[in-house]
Structure 1
Amino acid sequence: MIADLTLRWVVTLLFVIAAAECLSTLVVGDRRPATVVSQFLHVVMAVAMAVMAWPWGAALPTVAPMVFFLLATLWFVAVTVSPICAGHRIAGVYHALMMLAMAWMYAVMNGRLLPGQASFTADVAPAGPSAGASGHAGHASMPGMDMGGTDAAGTDHSVGYPPYIATLNWVCTIGFALAAVFWLYRYLAVRMEREPVEAARPLGILCQSMMAAGMAIMFGVML
């Protein structure tokens, strides 16, 4: 999905480390059911994003993961409004938005689910036999993304997006970049004892910064 190999590995490592931290929390952390489910959803999300960074991952089905992360969004909304999330509602809203962003990314990747996307692609896609290859298996060819070697030499298959999709992708890119900075600041504050250590595990906060940075990069290459 990411054309640059170095950036692909950077994103992969960010999400693999985040997945490992969430998995360790599942094993030795808080065992309350709501916490276990939430951490499990973060593990799935991190693994899905690491897979999505690679061409073979971008060719996988998109509808089922999109539905899964929409349900994950509803889970975090329910947890956020419940009494068990008292005092952590802002974080709960953030996690719900992150799951919703995952569902949005899969919808954009599909190329046919969002209003106006299929017709926009047809209008701007290059003509010729190779044009149909850019959206194999129901996936749209996306700016900045490598869809697994479908491009012919000297041909640009980046078909762009309708304006509302491009705008939301910009919002996600900027939003997650800011979130990465915020979580990194919180991590440094905890390490320097400017916040109580009990507020969160320092490594967990750092991994949230990594996940946000990875999301910002993934949305950034879609622009």
Structure 2
Amino acid sequence: MIHDLALRWIVTILFVLGAAECLYALAVGNRRPATIISQLLHVAMAAAMAVMAWPWGAALPTVAPMVFFLFATGWFVAVTASPIGAGHRVAGTYHALMMLAMAWMYAVMNGHLLPGQGSSVGSGAPAQVGHSGHAGMTMPGMAMPGMVMPMDDSSGGGYPAYITVLNWVCTVGFALAAGYWLVRYLAMRMDREPDDAGLPLGFLCQSMMAAGMAIMFGVML
């Protein structure tokens, strides 16, 4: 979860708006099966991230959603590589990486799945596992219930170095993606007629969801 209440609400609003736009696109847009599944996966991702920001959401199990988002990654890889993804390879790859980042975040939250996590939670003091069955996170901005706070080390947030590096990559990557999608949204708004201004709303949705991901990974550093 995110300790700062204002930041927690910002993240929640970003993902709720993103999920709402995906549902709106489902209602009025393309109804092809592949598009429907892709939009629903984005809705699930946005809902999971919004829940994760709150204390009660941080206490939920991590393995099942991690596996779910690994399957979601495989879905986007398959669609991107198929004829359906022709002309949208870059966007499809981005969506696959976003789902993979979700699975990665759940793996980090679990506290036991990744190599070196068991030895990175302090000076010989194991993390206390909460009721949800996973160890508490030790980043400064986020916390899990039922945890023993470790002593500080040089790896950043009590993690092995490779986890910290990948979290940095996700933070910077999604921050850049948020800016990219926002620029595309503004560019399309300027190029369209006033009555068509709502058509590029999907770009704004992607910008909001990328910004939310950047914040969530940022507080893990």
- When the two structures are superposed, what TM-score results if normalisation uses the length of structure 2? 0.89
Structure 2 unaligned regions, length at least 5 = none
Q: 1-side partners of 2:188 and 2:163: how far apart?
A: 37
> How far did residue 132 of structure 1 move?
2.3
Among 212, 216, 219, which residue is 1:218 paired with? 216
Kept in 2: contact 1:66–1:102 (CA 8 A): yes
Equivalent position of 1:99 in the other structure: 99
1:160 CA drift (Å): 1.2
Matches for 1:136-147 after TM superposition, within 5 Å: 137-143=133-139, 144-147=141-144
1:46-65 matched pairs, under 5 angstroms? 46-65=46-65
CA contact (8 A) 2:59 2:131 kept: no
C-alpha change, 1:83 and 1:168, in structure 2 (3 Å) is same
Aligned residue for 2:133, secondary structure, equals helix
Q: Which residue of 1 aligns with 2:128?
A: 132
Query: Matches of 2:43 and 2:116 in 1, distance apart?
Result: 33
| CA distance 1:157–1:13, change in 2 (3 Å) | farther
| Contact 1:173-1:219 at 8 Å conserved across structures | yes
Question: Aligned partners of 1:180, 1:26: CA distance in 2, in Å?
Answer: 22
Q: Relative to 1, partners in 2 of residues 1:63 and 1:182: Cα closer, same or farther, differing over 3 Å?
A: same
Aligned equivalent of 1:71: 71
Question: Conserved in 2, the CA contact under 8 Å of 1:120 and 1:161?
Answer: yes
Q: What is the RMSD of the two structures over their aligned residues, measured on CA atoms? A: 2.4
Report how far residue 41 of structure 1 moved.
0.2
Seq. identity, %: 69
Could you say what secondary structure the match of 2:191 adopts?
Answer: coil
- Scaled by the length of structure 1, what TM-score is found? 0.88
2:104 aligned with 1:108, yes or no?
no
Q: Residue 170 of structure 2 aligns with which residue?
A: 172
Distance in 2, matches of 1:29 and 1:146, equals 39
Q: Which residue is 1:38 aligned to? A: 38
Q: Is the 8 A contact 1:125 1:157 kept in 2?
A: no
Whole-angstrom distance in 2 between the partners of 1:125 and 1:136: 23
Q: Using the TM superposition, give the Cα deviation of residue 184 of structure 1 relative to its aligned residue in structure 2, in angstroms.
A: 0.3
Whether the 8 Å contact between 1:142 and 1:160 is mirrored in structure 2 is: yes
| Aligned residue pair count | 213
Q: CA deviation at 1:135?
A: 8.9
Structure 2 equivalent of residue 189 of structure 1: 187
Give 1:218's aligned amino acid: M
For the residues of structure 2 that align with 1:157 and 1:89, how far apart are their CA atoms?
44
Contact residue 72 and residue 96 of structure 2 kept, 8 A: yes
- 1:133 deviates by 6.1
Offset from partner CA, 1:113-158 (integer Å, 9 cap, x none): 001111222x44768xxx626796313322121324x579xx7777
Quick check: 158-167 or 108-117, which moved more?
A: 158-167
